Homo-oligomer: A and B are copies of this chain.
Amino acid sequence: MYGLEESPTELVNPAGKSDILLICEHASHFIPESFHNLGLTDAECLSHIGWDIGAADMARVLSQQLDASLVLQRYSRLLYDCNRPPSEMSAIPPLSEVTAIPGNSELTDEQRHYRVERIYQPFHSEIEAQIKARTEAGRRTVVVTIHSFTPTYKGELRTVELGVICDNDNAFANTFYQIAQQASDHDIRMNEPYGPSDPVLHTVTRHGTDHQIANVMLEVRNDLIEQAVGQHEWANLIGKVLNQVNA
Which residues of A does B touch, CB under 8 Å? 6-7, 10, 12-13, 15, 28-30, 33, 42-43, 46, 51, 53, 57, 61, 64-65, 67, 74, 226-229, 232-233
CA distance A53 to B158 in the complex (A): 29
CA distance A229 to B29 in the complex (A): 10
CB contacts (< 8 Å) of A232 on chain B: these are: 29, 42, 46
CB contacts (< 8 Å) of A74 on chain B: these are: 64
Judge whether A229 and B64 touch: CB under 8 Å. Answer: no
CB contacts (< 8 Å) of A65 on chain B: these are: 33
Judge whether B30 and A64 touch: CB under 8 Å. Answer: yes
CB contacts (< 8 Å) of A10 on chain B: these are: 12-13
26 pairs, A vs B, C-beta closer than 8 Å? A6-B13, A6-B15, A6-B64, A6-B67, A7-B15, A10-B12, A10-B13, A28-B64, A29-B228, A29-B232, A30-B61, A30-B64, A33-B65, A42-B229, A42-B232, A42-B233, A43-B229, A46-B228, A46-B229, A46-B232, A51-B228, A53-B228, A57-B57, A64-B74, A226-B227, A227-B227
